[in-house]
Amino acid sequence: MNAKFNISYDGSVFQGSQRQPNGLTVENALLKAFKRVNIETNIVLSGRTDRDVHATGQVFNCILPDFWNNFDKLKDVMNKHLPSSIKINHISLVPNDFHSRFHARKRVYRYVITTKHTTPFNDKFVTYVPSINEELMKEAIKEFIGEYDFEYFHKVGSDKENTVREIFDTCFYKHKDIYVFRFTANSYLRSQIRLMVGFLLKINMGKLSIIDLKEQLRMKKRVFKIPAPANGLYLAQITY
């Protein structure tokens, strides 16, 4: 039977989400936990997250033996065998042809920042900036809405031939002591969100302008190519 898993993880202790020979990834840890409960399977992640990028709503699907039809029990057992840096939130039965990656319609990412100095207890999970011009960020982030060729907003050397992506919605808001950049799109290029946030933070600092952003989005000139740190980025939600 085909099952869909919703999981959260602390990306700071992994070399990314996708399986690697070194075994230090989220997928490797999940497969190891499955083997401990005598399940041999392959995982299909909804998308890849890089080293130090976190998730509160990552999704994967895999084939399970029919006798593991008590998903509440399976969730509890798996969570006991997983490291504390990974938590299974929910498991559900899906059609046999369900594919976590190809069937995803929207992917939501959040990038969190704070104007308070970080501590040893939160430094891996939020990015510090000295000050925030909230109204300017609310205005600037809206420029990303629409369909663009993000050739100038993706990691050089990544293997994507088609660099056109559509961003459905963006917003910037404050929640308690943190500020959040929120992006909703069909899919993203590698490091795209970190490059977009990096550009926005340069605008916040007064070193770049919204006009500069418009020109780079329309590929008139490339004025910025430094991604924001990975530790503030979270894969938050996948919609099917």
- Looking at the annotation, which residues are catalytic? 50
Q: State the Cα–Cα distance between residues 106 and 63, nearest whole angstrom.
A: 23
Radius of gyration of the chain (CA): 19
Q: State the Cα–Cα distance between residues 100 and 5, nearest whole angstrom.
A: 9
Q: State the Cα–Cα distance between residues 203 and 87, nearest whole angstrom.
A: 36
Single-letter residue type at 63:
I
- Residue among 225, 68, 63 nearest 155 (CA): 225
Q: State the Cα–Cα distance between residues 79 and 5, nearest whole angstrom.
A: 12
DSSP state of 141: H
